[in-house]
Structure 1
Amino acid sequence: MSRSYRRTAVPVLLVLTVVAGIGLFLFQPWKAFTDTTVDEALPGASAPAANGGPAVKDTARRNGEEPSAQDTGPKSLAMGRFVSHEHGTSGSARTVQLADGGQVLRIEDFASSEGPDVQVYLSTRDADAVEAGLGDGALALGELKGDRGNQNYTVPAGTDLSRFHSAVIWCARFSVSFGAADLARIEG
């Protein structure tokens, strides 16, 4: 081997190694072959009679009162089905008022792709418009827990959910939407 060949080959190999390392870090290609399933129950979904079940509701009605949210358990506020954007995404999303006054975004029967830095957001934009970006006022709820299953994301206290029109699975690393669900208000 000549000296000039070594002077060229060593820097080229170093650059290729650095580029490969950066590519692995950014794209995390092994995630294309893995799935993470999460199966969380809806918080407070089953209230026993002693803690706000039918007996408490009947007592409140006999006393001329309407049962409070504490008595009635979780209440769905809005819901919708996911549509795919950059990756195949399916399932449903709904916002839920819990018996204790807290709010969650509930994702059910969810299926999408693993990816680097995938986050869950509420957006003021409709699901179709989110493909172009989250828009002003988007609310980050946290990292996606898994690419399969049923998951809950706590909404910060005091958040006015009526401002938000969609739930979004967003890859922060590449600024793309994997999929989004329009949140149609439930009357009643």
Structure 2
Amino acid sequence: MLLITLVFFVFAQAAFVRNKGQAAADAAALAAATEARDQLYDRFLDAIDGDGDLGDVLEAEDIATGSACDEAAPRLAGENDADVSSCGLASDGSGFTVGVTTRDTIGDTVVPGTEDQAYDAEATAVIRGLCEVSDEADDQVELDCDDEDLSFDPGDEDGLPDARELFQVYLED
């Protein structure tokens, strides 16, 4: 009976490490996508000043991997006791797929070979543009968005939409 209890404990311990790894992968993927969304927002600000195509920016195309994979994903993975093993654009280019390896292992147990067992996990976070340009003039920009239509003066910094109003970041199922 004791052996059965100990084996059950090993499985519970393994499930805990695996779940911790998946949480780290989810957090790292969301961090990478959020960092890229913030970079898209900077491009949005440039585009309303006339430097770039506003429509292309709002479609969330040409996502940069730089600081998203080099800084944001490793930071969040580390905060969740994992290391990034891979990070890059998702296969369709709409976000980031991040792989992590847990720093924690199952540890010493009655099951041989589990003491150094770490877990690998992967998650994909998507960035989706929520708006399309309906009218663009020097003193007024109008956007058709999923939740509401936005109208603002590009010269009025206080009246500009937030990044969250323009781009949605979420985990892919």
- Fold match by TM threshold 0.5: no
Could you say which structure has the higher helix fraction? 2
- Structure with higher Rg: it is 1
Taking structure 2 as the reference length, what is the TM-score of the superposition?
Answer: 0.29
Taking structure 1 as the reference length, what is the TM-score of the superposition?
Answer: 0.27
